[in-house]
A = this chain, B = another copy of it.
Amino acid sequence: MIVILYAHPYPDRSRANRALLRSVEDLPYVSVRSLYDLYPDFAIDVEAEQRALADASAVVLQHPMYWYSVPGLLKLWFDKVLARGWAYGDGGDALADKRCLWVTTTGAPESGFSPEGMHGHSFHAFVPAIEQTVRFCKMRWEEPLVLHGAHRVDDERIAELARSYRARLEALAGATGGAP
């Protein structure tokens, strides 16, 4: 089972993320948890979340970038669900060796991510907090899928990334025995 943690604060306004999600959600070994639908009141059910991940062979974090990071609800999910003794620390092995794929979109084109650009840094500067969260829980960090300029890219570029996304999940399922 591959669990997709989908965190889009405004699913109705999403173009790229929705298309990406649609391209993979029919895979029989994929389970989507749409966090903003599950927890509109931010009252995350920690036990349910931990249970949902227990049998997963791989975890996908899919979200648009908000302020150079994950949206607030996914950050809260990190704070609550990735608990000491479960995800890290003594006895905290629940996620160990699961593969983790980060799938994210940015509004600005990639050219905005440079020392001279509007975001002042290359995109890589914003990766460590996410990657290290994953690694601290002893998951395996997979090469991320990133779509820049999601507000303006054409449909073909989105479709291309959607195909890559599907292929990546198929490969993950094969590699981890997650396929039926």
Contact = CB atoms under 8 A, between A and B. Distances in A.
A9 B69 contact: no
Interface of A: 9, 41-42, 66-73, 75-80, 82, 118-121, 125-126, 128-129, 132-133, 135-136
Nearest to A80: B72
B67 A72 contact: no
A79 B71 contact: yes
Contacts of A70: 75
A113 B167 CA distance: 35
A107 to B, nearest CB: 10
Contacts of A9: 79
Nearest to A118: B136
